[in-house]
Amino acid sequence: MPDLNAKSPVWAMIVLSDVTSTRRMEQVRSDFVANVSHELRSPLSALLGFIETLQGPASSDPEASARFLSIMESEAQRMARLIDELLTLSKVEADEHITPDDVISVDQIISDVAGLLSVRAMAKGMKLRTLVEKDLPPITGDADELTQVFQNLLSNAINYGSEDTDIRLDIGLVENLPETGVPGIFVSVTNHGEGIPAQEIPRLTERFYRVDKGRSRSMGGTGLGLAIVKHIVARHRGHLEVKSEVHKETSFTVMLPRFDENIL
Ligand SMILES: Nc1ncnc2c1ncn2[C@@H]1O[C@H](COP(=O)(O)OP(=O)(O)O)[C@@H](O)[C@H]1O
Ligand SMILES: [Mg+2]
């Protein structure tokens, strides 16, 4: 250690701040605000347009009025969903690790989520097949957040999978999770369909990123589902893997560390 009280030499401290990274963060933030505004403005413009039509030309046409009202309902629902998902995202985005206070049986969550979405799958002629390894240990985590993860993944498999195909839900043990090396549980959601080109995969979990914007919109998508999945999985010290073969299979695998009495 230098003696700072000594007469010479003179010590100086220079603080270098990373301007590039600050600028990049500002850019990301302003892109996000622009995206949110755009995503909220388009259903809002549709609503305003239909209100004007209903007050004017369509006011004496009950058939057209009913049709417009049903479009207005789905646009309003899209806005409500977007706001809900933005709130969820802002909650989970902090990336702080969750306090593992719920002891969770993953197969129970999967069976609840499958039950919830089975009507939508059936409407596309899809069957949900669940394969669960025997004697799975519980894990610790946040039950509501994990339910959200599997709802988003299964909902994507239904939306982007082809009609009259099966969706597979596999649940089993993992010996070593990537990065942490701890044992855990995996859940894979696999569907058949167009798939995702390899170069698109790294960007899937970005906020508002969609491979096919028109298709996502027609499904009522917000482009936030996988961003939410990514953050919840990270908060659980887990890992997300995406594999896709174009025009064949796509699978999203979530790995979560298993229940540990020592951290309760
Ligand atoms: N199972 C899947 N098969 C093909 N593409 C998918 C699948 N899951 C997600 N994607 C692609 O990833 C994009 C982002 O997904 P997501 O964040 O859930 O947003 P959203 O579904 O609202 O568009 C989707 O728009 C779609 O292009
Ligand atoms: Mg989605």
Phi, psi of 241 (to 5 degrees): -130, 135
By C-alpha distance, which of 215, 235, 210 is closest to 225? 210
Q: Which domains does the chain show, CATH number per domain?
A: 19-92 (1.10.287.130), 102-263 (3.30.565.10)
For ligand 1, atom 9, the nearest C-alpha belongs to 156
pLDDT of residue 216: 86
pLDDT of residue 9: 65
CA gyration radius, the chain: 24
pLDDT tens, per residue, the chain with 264 residues: 555 555 566 777 777 667 888 888 888 889 999 999 999 999 999 999 999 999 998 889 999 999 999 999 999 999 999 999 999 999 999 867 877 678 999 999 999 999 999 999 999 999 999 999 998 999 989 999 999 999 999 999 999 999 999 999 999 999 999 988 999 999 999 999 999 999 999 999 999 999 998 888 888 889 999 999 999 999 999 999 999 999 999 999 999 998 765 554
**C-alpha–C-alpha distance, residues 114 and 130, integer Å:** 9
Percentages helix, strand, coil for the chain, rounded to the nearest 5? 50, 20, 30
Q: Show Cβ contacts of residue 137 under 8 Å, excluding neighbours closer than 6 positions.
A: 185, 258, 259
Q: Which of 117, 167, 216 to probe ligand 1 with, by most ligand atoms within 8 A of CB?
A: 216
DSSP state of 161: B
Ligand 2 mean position, distance from CA 59 (Å): 36
Residues with a beta carbon under 5 angstroms from ion ligand 2: 156, 221, 225
Instruction: Say if CB 140 and CB 177 are below 8 A apart.
Output: no
DSSP codes of every residue in 118-143: HHHHHHTT-EEEEEE-SSPPPEEE-H
pLDDT of residue 196: 96
Does residue 160 line the site of ligand 1, with CB under 6 A?
A: yes
pLDDT of residue 264: 46
Instruction: Say if CB 11 and CB 39 are below 8 A apart.
Output: no
CA atoms within 13 A on the CB side of 18: 6
Ligand 1 mean position, distance from CA 136 (Å): 29
Does residue 170 line the site of ligand 1, with CB under 6 A?
A: no
The ligand 1 atom nearest the CA atom of 157: 1
pLDDT of residue 35: 92
Give Cα separations from 179 to 102, 111, 120, 237, 255 (angstroms).
Answer: 24, 29, 36, 10, 11
